[in-house]
Structure 1
Amino acid sequence: MKVIVCVKQVPDTNEVKIDPVKGTLIRDGVPSILNPDDANALEEALALKDQYEDVHVTVVTMGPPQADEMLRECLAMGADEAVLLSDRAFAGADTWATSNTIAAAVRKIADYDIIFAGRQAIDGDTAQVGPQLAERINIPQITYVQDFKIEGKEVTVQRQLEDGYEIIKVQTPVLLTAIKELNKPRYMSVKGIYEACKQDIIVWSANDLGVDKSEVGLDASPTKVFRSFTPAPKGKGIMLQGTTKEMVEKLAVSLKQKHII
């Protein structure tokens, strides 16, 4: 069984800041991490590998050369091989152009049974690349997967809904997007780290994928980011002191003075 896992290196959103003048992200000094939902997707693929001897797991990402570090983390966790899609032609891509690039890589890998992806990336929160990829390679897709089982070529999943879940059965090949409720990602092992450091990362350019450069990167992206910004800070809060009754009275007086009540 061949399993492909789509992953992404993202900035740690706890450390992200925005330039107030330029309205752009300040990336200098911001650590990069494996996208959390993608870690759940990888874990489910690795759980399959633990269960069945014939499972081969390939992780794929599109990004700059430094994404090599994130891919080695995936290898250290247990993935069999890693593919980095890196080319200046891919730069500035939105989800539409990104899915086109990844689809070309998936076609090149070929003979896959399951493609796992995270529900969404924390740097964009669009949740679009997985579904777009499935549409481009013309296979079924199930999003928001919170439970997963496979018997032969039949996959049974629980798809999370706002008020519960639905059970869906589908034949492979299929694309599934994972959420955090699906599992708990494992840590890298010492042996895995050692072996990952020695393993080669496969790097494919636009020429290697055979894609038309007018269909990838910024030129092929219909979505344009106008501005990024953080909301203006609110006024300093007022702390009330005293007994509960005294604080309620002070609050009521203050709200009346501001004509709120």
Structure 2
Amino acid sequence: HEPRRILRAVDRVSFEVSAGETLALVGESGSGKSTVARLIVGLHRPTEGRIEFGGRRMQMIFQDPYASLNPRWRVRDIVAEPIRALHTAREVEDLLVQVGLARDDGEKYPHEFSGGQRQRISIARALAGEPDFLVCDEPTSALDVSVQAQILNLMTDLQSRLGLTYLFISHNLAVVSQVADRVGVMYCGRIVELATATQLFSRPRHPYTRMLLDAVPDLAMSGKPRTPVAGEVPNPLAPPPGCTFHPRCPHANERCRREVPQLLDDVACHGVAEGRI
């Protein structure tokens, strides 16, 4: 039979999230960003490395509001689940109002709500644990664009009112530009660029970041040259040698094909380090 192969879903990722800020991790499917989220909240155990958390409590908001709520439970029981013994009916009602739902919505079942309303219920459930830190795994990707903006506005409002810290996982750079203070770009399990949102969106440095940004529709029609997203994310069981992005990169040279770039000055790219890009 075939020899056992190791898949490195996350490879030497290192970052900090400061209290009160929003750090977004972005990348295509298979980049490892959701695995990082699940490692942080303890759904997966890391094979190496460590995760340190200086606060009291953390919670997670999941991607699919249809799958993450128990269809047999009333909303009041879903919201109170994290700490049922400590929560009165009045407190559950207050949480529902805080996320833009009605007090009597607690008597209903999940199927009676739209996708956006279900995600509000998920947020209320996360807030029931009085967290300092919320890990948000693509919390708007299953929603219509019109509803996405409402949920993002709610999350921004809750952050300012409650002093929350967010790790925001997304593949949608347009969404990230609205909520993030800093952005980490992931590719094949590694962070290839880490910058403030202002820097990243105005002066992207890594060729992969540029490619992702060029895929966002240019509503201003500025006419600037764009590099289309080319190629596919490589098979994580057999990643290419050297820089894993080199098969898709227009700037790759022999060193890129041979040597793995380190994250220097918050970007992992030989071309940037050598001043070629």
TM-score past 0.5 threshold? no
Larger Rg: 1
Give the number of the structure whose residues are more often strand, by fraction.
1
| TM-score of the superposed pair, with normalisation by structure 2 | 0.26
| TM-score of the superposed pair, with normalisation by structure 1 | 0.28
